[in-house]
Amino acid sequence: EAEVAQSPRYKITEKSQAVAFWCDPISGHATLYWYRQILGQGPELLVQFQDESVVDDSQLPKDRFSAERLKGVDSTLKIQPAELGDSAMYLCASSSRLAGGEQYFGPGTRLTVT
Amino acid sequence: QKEVEQNSGPLSVPEGAIASLNCTYSDRGSQSFFWYRQYSGKSPELIMSIYSNGDKEDGRFTAQLNKASQYVSLLIRDSQPSDSATYLCAVNDSSYKLIFGSGTRLLVRP
C-alpha cells in the first residue's frame, strides 16, 4: 500500500538551533502539503507545493521557516532558529489533485523544543 | 475567517451503539468534505470523503452532507472500542484550502 514517508519521527532540539524534516509523498502525487498540528487542535497548512512550485505559503512564518521541493518529488521543511512555540506535530500530506482532492498524511514528526 | 466547528467532546457511547459526530462550516463555497480519524499520538487517517448532498456509506461509516445548512455528519454503526479516537472534520474552502476542525473525541465503552 502506498504511503507518505516522513523522517525523523521524533526530534528534540534546543531553542535557537536549526531543525529539518523530510517527506516523500505517495508515488505519482504531484501535490504536497506541510501542516503543523498543536495538541488539541486540527492541522493547519504551512505550505502547499504543486510539483516543485509553491502554491500557497501564506501561513508559513518566513522569517524562520523554509520549505523546498527541488525536483518535485520529496520535500524538506526547515526551521532556523527553533523557538519554544514551535513544539508541535509536523505533518506531510500528498494528493493526486491540485485542488479539492483527498489528502493522505504521513506519520508525522513530533518536535519538542527545549 | 473561514471556520469549521466541532464539539470537542468527549462523546461517550456504549459498544454496539451508533455514534453521531457533527460538524458545521462557514464557507458556502465549500465543495469537498472529509472525515479523518486520529488516534492519540498518531497522524490523521482519511476514512470518508463526500462531495454532494445526501448520504454516503462505507462499511460501518455513513457521511451525511447538507450544503444548504452547511452541515456535515459522520455516523459510526456498531461502535467498537477500537473506534475510540479523535475525529477531524475537514472542508475544502472556496480557494480549495483544506480547513480542519479541532476534532471530536469519541470514547466507546466496552
Would you give per-residue pLDDT tens digits along chain A (114 residues)?
689 999 999 999 999 999 999 999 999 999 999 999 999 999 999 999 999 999 999 999 999 999 999 898 999 999 999 999 999 999 999 999 877 789 999 999 999 999
Please answer yes or no on whether B96 and A99 come within 8 Å at the CB atom.
yes
Q: Do B49 and A102 touch (CB under 8 A)?
A: yes
Query: In angstroms, rounded to a whole number, what is the distance separating the alpha carbons of residues A40 and A23?
Result: 24
Mean pLDDT, to the nearest integer, of B89-100? 90
Alpha carbon of B80: minimum distance to chain A alpha carbons (Å): 23
Is the pLDDT at B1 greater than 80? The verdict is: no
pLDDT at B51 over 70: yes
Mutation site for B-interface testing, chosen from A60, A95, A105 by largest number of B Cβ within 10 Å:
A105
pLDDT at residue A98 in the model? 75
